[in-house]
Amino acid sequence: MRKINIKKTDALMDFLRYKRELKKQLAKMTDAQYVANPIGFEVYGYIDKMLDHYNDKEMKLILKNQDALMRAFCV
Residue-wise pLDDT for 3-37, tens only, equals 778 889 999 999 999 999 999 999 999 999 999 99
- Whether residue 1 is contained in a domain is answered as no
Does 75 score more than 70 pLDDT?
no
Write down the pLDDT at residue 1.
67
Higher pLDDT among residues 50 and 3, named by residue: 50
Residue 56 in any domain: the answer is yes
35 found inside a domain: yes
Put simply, whether the predicted model's pTM sits higher than 0.85 gets the answer no
In a domain, 19, yes or no: yes
Q: How many domains does the chain have?
A: 1
- Averaged over 43-59, what is the pLDDT? 93
Domain that holds residue 62: 6-72
32-69 residues labelled b (16+ CB within 10 A) or e (exposed): eeeeeeeeeeeeeebbebbeeebeeeeeeebeeeeeeb
36 located within any domain: yes
